[in-house]
Amino acid sequence: MHVPDGFLDVPTSIGTGVVAATGVALALRGARRELDDRTAPLVGLVAAFIFATQMLNFPVGVGTSGHLLGGALAAVLAGPCSATLCLCVVLLVQALLFADGGLTALGTNVTLMGLVGVWVGWSVFRGAQSILPRRVSSVVPAGVVGAFVSVPVAALAFVLLYAVGGRTQLPLESLAVAMLGWHLLIGVGEAVITGLALSAILAVRPDLVYGARRVLQRRELTIREQVPA
């Protein structure tokens, strides 16, 4: 779901554009810390991955299906700054090459998905991780909680923006309730897919998961004298 052109008025669109530009500029600095000179190829490939997974349809039943939004998943896998850049580039490509999401609404879309979605998902993930025992196995539940929370919060941020710069007087309370209810459901799906995908990756290459690095570094190399029979 991308916000199209003409949904919010011009001042709000410019405002979110400024917010998005600032956030992306900060993320660019942060990503250099996360990834040094490997930033461009790796973030580019992760962005291609996010774009491709959004084409993977998960059947919900009665002929409908949904897909992953990927903000929280990208944050846990690649780090929040890289994830913001990923989502920003994905949205840019979708707007310019696929006409999905308006060009004037690009700032709004980046703010909602690339900043709110990613950073809420990431902070909830970190919060949950600090409560749960420090093991690799707690990365998955923390990621699930992060993904679940990030979707309805992004929806609420949208309602907030609509309250500021919406074109039509919709009853805000019922809009909030409708958006929240619907996105809680989407959040459940997002959480389940994120959890399943995370556990699949952790089983094969736990070292690739940015959110698991802290836990992995605590592992010590042990040299076993006796080989168990």
Partner 1 sequence: MHLLPAHTKIAALLCFVLVVVATPAQATWAFAVYAALLVVAVRASGVPFGYMGRRMVVEVPFVLFAVLMPFVAAGPRVHWGPLSLSEPGLLGARGLLVKGTLGVVASLLLASTTEPSDVVAGLDRLRLPHQLVEIMSFMVRYLEVVTGELARMKVARESRGFRPRSLGSWPVLASTAGALFIRSYERGERIHLAMVSRGYTGRLPVAHPLSASVAQWRLAATVPAAALVTFLVAVSR
Report whether 123 contacts 53 (CB < 8 A).
no
CB of 218 to partner 1, least distance (A): 23
For residue 131, the one-letter residue type is I
CB of 24 to partner 1, least distance (A): 7
Output 116 or 193, the one with its CB closest to partner 1: 193
Any contact of residue 39 with partner 1 (CB under 8 A)?
Answer: yes
Within positions 126 to 155, which residues make up the interface with partner 1, using CB under 8 A?
none
CB of 205 to partner 1, least distance (A): 5
- Distances from the Cα of 36 to the Cα of 32, 71, 76, 122, 155, angstroms: 4, 22, 18, 21, 33
**Out of 69, 72, 75, 77, which residue is the one contacting partner 1 (CB under 8 A)?**
77
Report whether 24 contacts 87 (CB < 8 A).
no
Output 130 or 172, the one with its CB closest to partner 1: 172
Question: Hey, what are 171's tokens?
Answer: 């009853």
**Out of 30, 49, 136, 165, which residue is the one contacting partner 1 (CB under 8 A)?**
49
Any contact of residue 42 with partner 1 (CB under 8 A)?
Answer: yes
**Out of 134, 167, 213, 214, which residue is the one contacting partner 1 (CB under 8 A)?**
167
Output 134 or 207, the one with its CB closest to partner 1: 207
- Distances from the Cα of 39 to the Cα of 106, 180, 202, 203, angstroms: 23, 35, 22, 25
**Out of 22, 33, 38, 216, which residue is the one contacting partner 1 (CB under 8 A)?**
38
Within positions 85 to 124, which residues make up the interface with partner 1, using CB under 8 A?
85-86, 88-90, 92-93, 95-100, 102-104
Within positions 171 to 190, which residues make up the interface with partner 1, using CB under 8 A?
171, 174-175, 178
Tally of CB atoms within 10 A around 132:
15
Of 116, 176, 175, the residue nearest 146 (C-alpha) = 116
C-alpha torsion sign, points 134, 138, 142, 143: positive
Output 97 or 229, the one with its CB closest to partner 1: 97
Helix (H, G, I), strand (E, B) or coil at 113: helix
For residue 120, the one-letter residue type is V
Any contact of residue 26 with partner 1 (CB under 8 A)?
Answer: no
